[in-house]
Structure 1
Amino acid sequence: MIQSKRYSLTNKTLELYVKKSPPIGRGFILFLAFVSVALPILGMVFRFMDGGSFHFGFIIGLGAFSLIGFYFVRLFLWNTYGKEVITIGETTVSYYVDYHYFKGNQQEITYEELVFDIEPIGFEEEKLGRLIIAANDKDFIHSSVNMDLRELEEIVEELTVLSSQFTVA
């Protein structure tokens, strides 16, 4: 088992952890989520206090603002607890995003041979990149966790050894 602050590789499962954003940024995102839901509710309360009646637009407004609030909650969870989980099987690779309280859509690709690559991002001095796992030209998994290039090179090396155990000689 290999473990560091940004990833863990246990048996056939790789977890890539998101670097937590600063608390003030996460707090602002959570504040925006609260405001997105509170504004339409306050609007309805003030309308009823002024003697207004119920209007169908209240439901549409509350629904739209709740979706915006849900987006901000998801963004907060990603920046606080987010991780990507990649499981390598004998013929398939599965991938999903874990937001701590719920999971993103699972993607699964079938492969005969896997290719692991690193996509450099940002400025050259930052030495950051993302992991790419390709089964062929069409089927690939593109990580969204930005990591140090040295860590990514370690991951690629370990995944190459792991995937070679599945190939039939």
Structure 2
Amino acid sequence: MKNNKRYSLVNNTLELYVKKSPPIGRGFILFLAFIAVALPIMGMVFRFMDGGSFHFGFIIGLGAFSLIGFYFVRLFLWNTYGKEVITIGETTVSYYVDYHYFKGNQQEITYEELVFEIEQIGFEEEKLGRLIIAANDKDFIHSSVNMDLRELEEVIRKLTAVELVVGG
């Protein structure tokens, strides 16, 4: 039987896993990334084949389209391997997004008492939500991973136990 849990909680580190999108969608995203980089290169090659000379705009075009390609690669990695990592310390909570080959910016908040909440998303019958970890009104971590509400409630029960052990 396959383990369908979308999270793992080991010691004081919670990992929330993104549900993989269908292969056809991920393939299309990867195709767009390839096209974004290949188009300006093909444009330069055709220009040189027609006897044109190098132009500074080639560098600008290649740079802009490479950024677009990088965005699509990041989107592909998120939809294939993406996860959020939340670590609860004695007085701090750190959070970052893991794209498998690189990590997003790390966010860290200091807390005296943590509040775990569920933000319901989508239609009511879908029963989906996101995790919110709040230290106060201004400092909070807002998860991007959509999960089943029952699973989120289970995560919150386990996180409350971890916070009592770590913070208390």
Question: Do residues 32 (structure 1) and 32 (structure 2) align?
Answer: yes
Size of the aligned set, in residue pairs, is 166
Question: Do residues 52 (structure 1) and 52 (structure 2) align?
Answer: yes
State the Cα distance separating 1:165 from its structure 2 match: 1.5
Q: Deviations over 1:57-106 (max 9, x none)?
A: 00000000000000000000000000000000000000000000000000
Q: Secondary structure at the match of 1:93?
A: strand
Q: Secondary structure at the match of 2:103?
A: coil
Residue matched to 2:135: 135
Q: Secondary structure at the match of 2:166?
A: coil
Equivalent-residue separation in structure 1 for 2:29 and 2:159 (angstroms): 35
Residue matched to 2:147: 147
Question: Do residues 61 (structure 1) and 61 (structure 2) align?
Answer: yes
Q: Secondary structure at the match of 1:165?
A: helix
Equivalent-residue separation in structure 1 for 2:92 and 2:50 (angstroms): 61
Residue matched to 1:79: 79
Q: Secondary structure at the match of 1:166?
A: helix
Q: Which stretches of structure 1, 4 residues or longer, exceed 3 Å deviation after superposition? A: none
Q: Secondary structure at the match of 2:116?
A: strand
Q: Deviations over 1:114-145 (max 9, x none)?
A: 00000000000000000000000000000000
Equivalent-residue separation in structure 2 for 1:22 and 1:65 (angstroms): 25
Instruction: Map 1:83-94 onto structure 2 (within 5 A).
Output: 83-94=83-94
State the Cα distance separating 1:164 from its structure 2 match: 1.1
Residue matched to 1:115: 115
Unaligned runs of 5+ in 2: none
Whichever residue aligns with residue 90 of structure 1, its letter is E
Unaligned runs of 5+ in 1: none
Of structures 1 and 2, the one with the larger relative CO (CA 8 A, separation 6+) is 2
Report the TM-score, using the length of structure 2 for normalisation: 0.97
Residue matched to 1:103: 103
Instruction: Check whether the contact 2:89–2:167 (CA below 8 A) recurs between aligned residues.
Output: no
Whichever residue aligns with residue 139 of structure 2, its letter is D
Equivalent-residue separation in structure 2 for 1:26 and 1:5 (angstroms): 22
Report the TM-score, using the length of structure 1 for normalisation: 0.96
Equivalent-residue separation in structure 2 for 1:91 and 1:61 (angstroms): 47
Cα RMSD for the two superposed structures: 0.9
Equivalent-residue separation in structure 2 for 1:132 and 1:4 (angstroms): 22
Identity %: 87
State the Cα distance separating 1:4 from its structure 2 match: 5.0
Equivalent-residue separation in structure 1 for 2:73 and 2:116 (angstroms): 32
State the Cα distance separating 1:166 from its structure 2 match: 3.0
